[in-house]
């Protein structure tokens, strides 16, 4: 029975990481309709990353996006502004939670406790989960499979977390150390300098800790593809390829500039 449930509750994002692949995510901050999940899947992204830290989406909208992502086979992840949101976003369809601004092992342990059912954590058990296709399953099997499939991504984005990153990586239940490069740069005193030696050294330190404890590293907040590629070569395996805002701005600006170029050519004749 548990295997039958595992065939339904699959975290494709984590499966690809475990297979050694580089996986990508699209961050959602302003898109509120379910079509964005289909578009992200068609584009080839591995995860839909709903950002409730910097985005203004409601819990209801977040759930709709997560359920749509489940339906098309792209993993829904949600970055929560606080652990008090964890139960609701997971009950709403998320397959992983991104925990921000951790500073010590206790922060990580508390986050995992919110994400996992007993005996691993203390998440409250509710019925009718979208990840289970709203069906009821034997509770022991449901708990086992959901604990296995629910990913916990911990953001390393300050010097406090960096100083204890090996201890953080060793906490049972951590799946990904997600480096929040913008905030980490600021914490290191080199804001915006993503290729700075101190930032590079921080990546090396996080990657070494992750390898030692069998977890993965993600690159966040960097748009320079050369720098992203460098950190992937060092060992990072999750890459953030921008947000719905940045994709719209980039493509829209390119097309508008092309139209302006056509106008300039016509008026020059």
Catalytic machinery residues: 54
Give the separation between CA 42 and CA 48, rounded to whole angstroms. Answer: 12
Give the separation between CA 75 and CA 46, rounded to whole angstroms. Answer: 6
Length of the chain: 269
| Contact partners, residue 188, CB within 8 Å, separation at least 6 | 159, 196, 198, 199, 202
Give the separation between CA 51 and CA 246, rounded to whole angstroms. Answer: 14
Residue 238 is inside which H or E element, if any? strand 238-243
Give the separation between CA 37 and CA 25, rounded to whole angstroms. Answer: 11
């Amino acid at each position: 029975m548990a295997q039958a449930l595992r065939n339904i509750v699959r975290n494709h994002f984590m499966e690809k990481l475990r297979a050694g692949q580089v996986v990508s995510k699209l961050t959602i901050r302003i898109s509120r309709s379910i079509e964005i999940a289909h578009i992200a899947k068609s584009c080839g992204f591995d995860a839909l990353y709903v950002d409730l830290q910097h985005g203004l989406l409601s819990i209801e909208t977040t759930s709709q996006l997560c359920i749509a992502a489940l339906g098309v086979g792209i993993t829904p992840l949600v970055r929560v502004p606080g652990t008090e949101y964890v139960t609701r976003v997971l009950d709403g369809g998320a397959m992983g939670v991104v925990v921000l601004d951790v500073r010590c092992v206790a922060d990580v342990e508390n986050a995992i406790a919110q994400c996992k059912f007993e005996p691993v954590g203390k998440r409250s058990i509710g019925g009718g989960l979208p990840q289970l296709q709203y069906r009821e399953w034997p509770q022991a099997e449901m708990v086992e499979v959901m604990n296995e499939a629910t990913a916990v991504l911990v953001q390393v984005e300050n010097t406090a977390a960096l100083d204890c990153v090996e201890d953080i990586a060793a906490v049972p239940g951590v799946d990904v150390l997600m480096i929040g490069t913008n905030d980490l740069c600021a914490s290191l005193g080199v804001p915006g300098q993503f290729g700075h030696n101190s930032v590079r050294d921080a990546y090396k330190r996080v990657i070494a800790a992750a390898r030692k404890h069998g977890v993965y590293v993600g690159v966040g907040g960097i748009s320079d593809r050369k720098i992203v590629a460098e950190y992937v070569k060092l060992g990072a395996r999750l890459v953030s390829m921008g947000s719905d805002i940045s994709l719209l701005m980039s493509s829209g600006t390119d097309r508008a500039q092309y139209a302006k170029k056509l106008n300039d050519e016509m008026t020059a004749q």
